[in-house]
Structure 1
Amino acid sequence: MTWLMVLFFTVVIGFPFFIMVSVSLQTMQEIYLPELVLFPARPQFINYVRAMKNGNWGRYFFNSGYVTLIVVAISLFINSMTGYAFARIKFQGRKLLFILLLIGMMIPPQVTMVPLFIMMKSFPLAGGNNLLGMGGRGLINTYAGLIIPFIAGSFGVFLCRQFYLSFPDDIDNSARIDGCSRFLTFTRIYLPLSRPVLASLGILKFTGTWNEYIWPLIMTNSDSMKTVQVALTMFRDEAEILWNQLMAATIVSSLVIYILFVCLQKYFIAGILSGSMKE
């Protein structure tokens, strides 16, 4: 019964990906046939070459990779440090702040998109703006405008807090006896032990930032600043949609996520499980 369930979910999850690969190898004539074509008569691997030639994909991948890596690096440090503070440091108003943090997780990101855009456009002393945030374009069409909104995250803080709650108090007491400050205790003891939770959080953050479409779409207005997800819309025009090239480019852009997950799969599972338990 277990194997049947595994087979069922494998088919359900894998079939859309199989269709995507199949379409990427078809001609436009095969795609528009009335019946579904699962196996193209002559696989058109040239579609991948044409897709990569349709635009400056080297630049698009660089933009996505640069923004994603910066976001992951900074957010992991900030989220883990904030989670450590909520879990190990007792201060006045800690519970209230954590409740507000949980409330922030319930707000859809679409609700905050317009205020975030106004903040980025009115960022003081950036993009020609004066001290009051007027007169220029702010952080629009810049890497900073793509990075800053994704650095902080309520879920990352929550996951790290749950992970650090599982540590015994003896660790903090021993570090305090040895003369370690709070920051040294975090960086020298807790941070090195946080590999599972940081790996799982890093995968989630990497995937979310890499696949982000709406925010880069409204924040960039030049071809040199486009990310991969925004560039995928180039295969659509007023006449038709080049489905085979679109699927080919989508597969290439998705390989980064697949490779990352395969390499860090054991850490991802361990991090999720460790963050869900408290001793």
Structure 2
Amino acid sequence: MKQNLKSNRLSIAGTMAVRILFAVAAAFPIVFMLVSSLKPDQQIFGDMSSVAAFLPIGNISFDNYGAVFDRVPAARFLMNSIGISAITVVLGIFVNSLCAFALSRMQVRGKKIVFTAILATLIVPFQTLALPLVWWVNQLPYFELNGFSLEFSKGWLDTYQVQIIPFIANAFSIYLFHQYFESIPKELDEAARIDGAGWFKIYRQVVMPLSGPATATVAILTFLPAWNSYLWPLMVVQSEELRPVMIGIQYFFQLNVSWGEVMAYASLITVPVVVLFIAFQRSFVNSIASSGVKG
């Protein structure tokens, strides 16, 4: 009995040691980035050969952060990305969960074929769709309110909606919601229908309140690509006031490269992602675990 307890403790200690080792290895680049953002360029390169590269020692200041806002409109880029990402997340959760609800709970002919077709789109890389998608969005009508008159034009290039609408529907998000909805007893739907609830009321008041982990996971997985988007905005956005944060990286490599400023800008655009993941980490893990129970 004592040997079993001892072996269990050693196993737990070994597992924790491995986890700590992986956590430290994963944290090294982030620590280096944050520390380097507080140092001038000469000190960054001088500390590269020692552990001082990971320690906030020496000539430490926030000058690089001030220089970032002087060199690029970082505040504008951050606000653009926050707005684009937030709207994409909210609309993505609604559209994808509604689609998954219909495929999971409603008895519709051909829904398995539709679900298979949706999953098949996962194997198509975005790069192959980018150029045709540019052509299509440039053919769409665009309505703009100018004073009291509604003006019509053609093409969505160089707008906010071209950075949002093409990325609302997502096959993987539909799959996650579908798998999670399958784990919710359908007897709840029947009880709600006896009480006179329609499908949308069942979706809104029965299924979605029980799908917190799946919603949190989809929020993270939708936010990350929206926040990290670089190729698509580079192709469809020309106006500086509409650009997201990732486009701002190229500003630092046009003339004299200051690596302290690069690290400061990278820190500004990384911290929101880390905070979001930490906030929803438990729900993210629970959703991934429950999605693998069925199907």
For normalisation by structure 1, the TM-score amounts to 0.90
- Report whether the alignment pairs 1:234 with 2:251: yes
Question: Which of residues 47, 61, 76 is equivalent to 2:78?
Answer: 61
Letter in 1 for 2:101: Y
Tell me the distance in 2 between the aligned counterparts of 1:201 and 1:35: 39
| Structure 1 match to 2:270 | 254
Tell me the distance in 1 between the aligned counterparts of 2:95 and 2:135: 24
Tell me the distance in 2 between the aligned counterparts of 1:35 and 1:255: 23
Change (3 A) 1:36 1:220: farther
Change (3 A) 1:12 1:137: farther
Letter in 2 for 1:17: I
Tell me the distance in 2 between the aligned counterparts of 1:168 and 1:184: 16
Q: Residues 159-211 of structure 1, C-alpha deviation per residue, up to 9 Å, x if partnerless?
A: 00000101222112112211211111111211121111101110111122111
SS of aligned partner of 2:164: helix
Greater percentage in strand: 2
SS of aligned partner of 2:84: helix
Contact 2:141 2:153 (8 Å CA) reproduced: no
Which structure 1 residue ranges, 5 or more long, are not aligned? Answer: 128-134
Tell me the distance in 2 between the aligned counterparts of 1:44 and 1:79: 45
SS of aligned partner of 2:39: coil
| Structure 2 match to 1:112 | 129
| Structure 2 match to 1:150 | 167
Which structure 2 residue ranges, 5 or more long, are not aligned? Answer: 1-13, 145-151
| Structure 2 match to 1:220 | 237
Contact 1:123 1:139 (8 Å CA) reproduced: yes
Tell me the distance in 1 between the aligned counterparts of 2:102 and 2:187: 17
Moved more, 104-113 or 30-39: 30-39
Runs of 4+ in 1 over 6 A off after TM superposition: none
Contact 1:126 1:138 (8 Å CA) reproduced: no
Aligned CA-pair RMSD: 2.1
Q: Residues 130-160 of structure 1, C-alpha deviation per residue, up to 9 Å, x if partnerless?
A: xxxxx96611110111111110000000000
Letter in 2 for 1:29: Q
Contact 1:84 1:161 (8 Å CA) reproduced: yes
Question: Which of residues 167, 187, 201 is equivalent to 2:218?
Answer: 201
Letter in 2 for 1:191: M
Contact 1:68 1:206 (8 Å CA) reproduced: yes
C-alpha displacement of 1:34: 9.4
Change (3 A) 1:270 1:261: same
Question: Which of residues 200, 203, 217 is equivalent to 1:186?
Answer: 203
| Structure 1 match to 2:261 | 245
| Structure 1 match to 2:26 | 13
C-alpha displacement of 1:225: 0.7
Aligned residues: 271
- Report whether the alignment pairs 1:169 with 2:186: yes
Tell me the distance in 1 between the aligned counterparts of 2:259 and 2:155: 36
Letter in 2 for 1:184: K
Change (3 A) 1:137 1:222: farther
Q: Residues 46-88 of structure 1, C-alpha deviation per residue, up to 9 Å, x if partnerless?
A: 1111112222222111111111111011010011111111111
Question: Which of residues 35, 42, 46 is equivalent to 1:29?
Answer: 42
